[in-house]
Amino acid sequence: MKLSDTITIVVPCKNEEMYIHHLLDSLRSQNIGDTRIIIADCSTDNTRQVIHDNSFELNVEIIDGGPVSIAKNRGAQLVTTPYILFIDADVRFFKDTVIRDAVAKMESKNLDLIGLNIKCYDNDKRAMLGFMVFNGINHVLKFVSPFAVGAFMLTRRDRFEEYGGFPEQCTTSEDYFLSKKYSPKKFRIIRHHLGQDSRRFKKMGYLGMARYLVKNFVNRNNKAYWDNLDNSKYWG
């Protein structure tokens, strides 16, 4: 089966004019053919023009997005393929076979959800260490609480729909709240990395980012905490 008959890629996007062309370059190198790429965008900068200028050889369509969970769900509503691959707009890949390898693993092992490790691509050593620690913790917890980071989240469409998609009341950690609904037996973190830079570490401070992630994890079942969480420093 052609890859384009198997997966659809959904990208939530907001004001990513400095990043989105790198993702499109990475997708071109993945040899995905005419696989449909739905970009759910709510940008107020020059992002859409950058997308138009860098979409050659790719099957890209832009729809109106919104907050991250809503943007992802709007894109997913248009998907008809068996699998949906959610990718963040600032992601880069280190190898050209990441997507095909993920789909092959999904099918050969009859999985419902696949994630990747995270790696910093701008050589910020503290961010690199932060991602390494996160990867290690995620590998330990995967046997009891699956977590496919939303920057690369490959899911069966029928399971995604069964679980109600991303919780739209969440302005962050929507990937965690959806992931934990999947069976650990049907989840894998495969031996590839997605690349992100250190911008959020620098914006929030390295210790600030660590505290933010720890507090989110400790309060993962505390509805009042999430209802009142201020994510402006993370997303702004």
User: φ, ψ for residue 134 (rounded to 5)?
Assistant: -60, -45
Q: In the prediction, which pLDDT does 134 show?
A: 83
Nearest CA among 141, 133, 137, 152 for reference residue 190: 152
DSSP-assigned letters across all residues of 129-174: HHHHHHHHHHHHHTTTS----TTEEEEEHHHHHHTTSS-TT-SS-H
Q: Of residues 217 and 89, which shows the higher confidence score?
A: 89
Judged against a pLDDT cut of 90, whether residue 37 lies above it is answered with yes
Q: Can you tell me the mean pLDDT for 159-173?
A: 89
Token pair in block for residue 3? 């890859």
Lowest-confidence segment of 21-30, 74-83, 129-138, 178-187 by average pLDDT = 129-138
Indicate whether 224 pLDDT > 70: no
Q: Residue 235: which pLDDT band, with cuts at 50, 70 and 90?
A: very low
Q: Which of 26-35, 141-150, 209-218 shows the lowest per-residue confidence on average (mean pLDDT)?
A: 209-218
Whether residue 211 is predicted with pLDDT greater than 80 in this model: the reply is: no
Task: Report the pLDDT averaged over residues 55-73.
Answer: 95
Sequence-ordered list of residues with C-beta below 8 angstroms from that of 9, at least 6 positions apart, any chain: 27, 32, 35, 36, 37, 38, 84, 85, 86, 87
Q: In the numeric block, which tokens belong to residue 59?
A: 């099957």
Question: 230 pLDDT exceeds 70?
Answer: no
pLDDT tens digits, one per residue of 80-104: 999 999 999 999 999 999 999 999 9
Taking residues 125-144, report their average pLDDT. Answer: 86
- Separation of CA 22 from chain center: 15
Average pLDDT over residues 135-141: 86
User: Does residue 221 or residue 171 have the better pLDDT?
Assistant: 171
Q: Assess whether pLDDT exceeds 80 at residue 222.
A: no
Comparing 79 with 203, the larger pLDDT belongs to 79
**Please, what CATH class does the domain formed by 3-198 belong to?**
alpha beta
Write down the mean pLDDT value for the chain: 88
Residue from 32, 90, 39, 89 nearest 65 by CA = 39
Percentage of residues in the chain with pLDDT exceeding 70?
85
